[in-house]
Amino acid sequence: MPYLDWYLFHLMANDWSWFRSTVATRPHPKDKSRPDPHFSLSQHTTMIPTILITLFIAFIGYYFSAPAKETDKLNNGKELPGPIGIPYFGNIFQIGLHQYISFSKWAQEYGPIFQIKLGVKRWVVVSDAAVAHELMVKRGTNYSARDHSFIMNEIVHPGSRGMLASSGEYWRKIRKLAHNGLAQKPVESYTPFIENESLELVRSLYNSALDPVIHFRLFTLNIILTTVYAKRFESPDDPTFLKLQSYIVDTIGFLGYDAIINLFPILRKLPLGLNKKARHLMANYFDLMKQFWDRFKEEHARGETKPCVASHVINHQDDDGLDDFDVHNMFIDVLGAGLDTTAITLSWMIALLANHPEMQARAHAELDAAIGRDRLPTLADQPNLPYIRAILRETLRYRPATGWLSIPHQSVQDDLYEGHLIPADTTVVANVYAMNMDPRRYAKPERFDPDRFLHVTESSAALANGPIGKRDHVTFGWGRRLCVGVHLAEAEGFLSLAQLLWCYRIEVEKGGVPPVVNEWQLGITMPPKPFRVKFAPRHEGVKEVIAK
């Protein structure tokens, strides 16, 4: 669910298909074990004129759209340090494929807060959790906006509606509405739905050997739909399910173009056919959301609906004068933001545990002692399963689903930070890698070690709002923009892991290879590379208990 200029990086690294097919998927020259069946330089040299023309147009676009010189504004404070870039493009070409690594290197040279220029934009990169907390939490009134995004604010959410990309008063209202349905209390009332979907998940994996990711996606989509509209899909073959899933994936796909368009606004004027396609997609998507909503309202009026986000929303919608179109926009963000993030986190947990049978053995012992073998664990068992909770927390720290850079915030007014001026409209991005892997905060940070969180009892949501020194990790973002689905994410992550481990040993098949955990797929999120594991029932009683 990550958006906005943040996509620049993914665009450069991943979303230019020519680039991906020539460079990103190319095995390292020394890696003889990975043949490169697709690479052909001649196939791609034909793209070079197109790239040069695009860069030229971007240059012209920058020239005519660049803001006036900022020296006047900077009178109050020194400019933040940062690497020197080239005219017009700034530091774009210095960032490289693994931006978090370049940022971490620059942090060593320029300190925990430095600035770079990307086309027309100024970015402030923060690599220290305390500095990010100071800006985005303590000074949250100034650092909780989002940059204007062409795709998000004009095509996905015409009129800058929705939650993820809106700012100011409108965002506060829509966020409050979503919060009404996704805060801790309402999420607790969804316990039966979450437990039901988790049961369906463990049933679907019984004694199987596979890559579980598609099952995790069905699990998370069904939970969101059940909690949003009190509806679920029985089967992954349901045509409406397939339609909805493709709308979500295609919308996220369009976001890949966003960054370059935001940095070089002239590109909006080019006849790329992008607008037309994206608007057509969104028309269909909104139509489906309207069908869900209209049906829900009818059922709600007849008193036939169960508690869910939509029922909370219906009860509060009029408080802030938000109409049905606002509600569709909000749900589109909730679906987009909640679908893959949790599924990716689950995939990482399974991949990591398959590599650590000794951790599974500890979790199994904890489950046997606290739950026994006659019933599945429930959400109410959380306090008695500290090791399982620690595995979830450590996975979120160690392999954050939304990647190593936070979703950028935007400043509203000029601000002085330790004598340095951060002008209004600056994009502020947290280097999650530097923070989640900070050796001052975590002993041996490169080691996956749930024990570091064994005695942490508060939720990640609660810790995010407390002092930074006690925060577990920064994966759910910052301050007023903190992930609004954090309670749901923690509940579904904990329960599915507890139930999966209660039922199964996660094994590498005979002759198979353990899941790769030190590399990940390049993309707008950070999923593990595809892998295959076996879900071997732990004891005789599993079949009977999950059949009940």
User: Could you tell me which residues are annotated as the binding site?
Assistant: 483
Closest CB to ligand HEM among residues 261, 488 = 488
User: Is residue 488 part of the contact set for ligand HEM (CB under 6 A)?
Assistant: yes
Site for ligand HEM in 133-172 (CB under 6 A): 163-164
**Binding residue ranges for heme:** 483
Kindly tell me which residue out of 334, 501, 503, 526 binds ligand HEM, with binding defined by CB under 6 A.
Answer: 334
Alpha-carbon distance of 198 to 223, in angstroms, equals 9
Alpha-carbon distance of 533 to 366, in angstroms, equals 22
Q: Which stretch binds ligand HEM (CB under 6 A): 64-72, 247-255, 337-345, 358-366?
A: 337-345
User: Is residue 403 part of the contact set for ligand HEM (CB under 6 A)?
Assistant: no
Residue type, 153: N
Element (H, E) at 203: helix 191-204
Residues in the interface with ligand HEM (CB under 6 A) total: 27
Six token digits for residue 220: 């998370």
Closest CB to ligand HEM among residues 221, 267 = 221
Residue 36 contacts residue 245 (beta carbons within 8 Å): no
User: Is residue 338 part of the contact set for ligand HEM (CB under 6 A)?
Assistant: yes
Q: Which stretch binds ligand HEM (CB under 6 A): 6-14, 70-78, 86-94, 479-487?
A: 479-487
Six token digits for residue 382: 């959380």
Kindly tell me which residue out of 119, 485, 515, 527 binds ligand HEM, with binding defined by CB under 6 A.
Answer: 485
Alpha-carbon distance of 353 to 535, in angstroms, equals 12
Residue 430 contacts residue 438 (beta carbons within 8 Å): no
CB atoms within 10 A of CB 364: 18
User: Is residue 1 part of the contact set for ligand HEM (CB under 6 A)?
Assistant: yes
Element (H, E) at 529: none
User: Is residue 177 part of the contact set for ligand HEM (CB under 6 A)?
Assistant: no
User: Is residue 399 part of the contact set for ligand HEM (CB under 6 A)?
Assistant: no
In the chain, helix, strand, coil percent, each to 5? 55, 10, 35
User: Is residue 175 part of the contact set for ligand HEM (CB under 6 A)?
Assistant: yes
Query: What's the closest the beta carbon of residue 402 comes to ligand HEM, in angstroms?
Result: 5
Alpha-carbon distance of 78 to 143, in angstroms, equals 19
User: Is residue 285 part of the contact set for ligand HEM (CB under 6 A)?
Assistant: no
User: Is residue 186 part of the contact set for ligand HEM (CB under 6 A)?
Assistant: no
- CA atoms 479, 485, 491, 494: torsion sign: negative
Residue 422 contacts residue 415 (beta carbons within 8 Å): yes
User: Is residue 326 part of the contact set for ligand HEM (CB under 6 A)?
Assistant: no
Here's the x/- map for ligand HEM, 212-241, by CB under 6 A: it reads as ------------x-----------------
Rg of the chain (C-alpha set): 24
Q: What is the contact surface with ligand HEM in residues (CB under 6 A)? A: 1, 163-164, 175, 224, 333-334, 337-338, 341-342, 345, 401-402, 406-407, 475-478, 481-485, 488-489
